[in-house]
């Protein structure tokens, strides 16, 4: 199956999904791969991820910062997003991403 390419022209920081693309998140397991640190006001990112969390069946955030055993989501937007996420996991390498995806593949859909 080929991945679906969404148009970039309507994406902004406050809207990570184009208005017409939001339907792709409905009842989907969404995995965000990001280093986490944002610049400026975190509210637009928090608002957008909150909207995404309402649409999605599951929402996971993979970050290379989580490879550190002492990592805690205590700064910026990630601190506010943690309660809305199903997982915050290691995204530091392709192997870590594969382990996460393969480990989550058996998660039962509600």
Q: Mind giving me the DSSP string for 46-89?
A: HHHHHHHHHH-SEEEEEEGGGGSTT----SHHHHHHGGG-SEEE
The share of the chain scoring above pLDDT 70, in percent, equals: 72
Strand 58-63 to strand 29-33: parallel, antiparallel, or no bridges (unpaired)? parallel
pLDDT tens across 20-62, in order?
566 777 778 889 998 866 778 888 888 888 888 888 888 999 9
């Amino acid at each position: 199956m080929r991945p679906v390419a969404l148009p970039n022209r309507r994406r902004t920081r406050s809207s990570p999904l184009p208005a017409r693309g939001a339907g792709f998140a409905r009842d989907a397991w969404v995995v965000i791969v990001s280093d986490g640190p944002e610049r400026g006001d975190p509210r637009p990112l928090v608002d957008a991820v909150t909207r995404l969390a309402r649409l999605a069946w599951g929402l996971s955030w993979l970050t290379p910062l989580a490879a550190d055993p002492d990592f805690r989501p205590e700064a910026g937007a990630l601190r506010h997003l943690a309660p809305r996420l199903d997982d915050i996991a290691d995204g530091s390498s392709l192997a870590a991403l594969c382990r996460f995806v393969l480990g989550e593949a058996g998660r039962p859909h509600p």
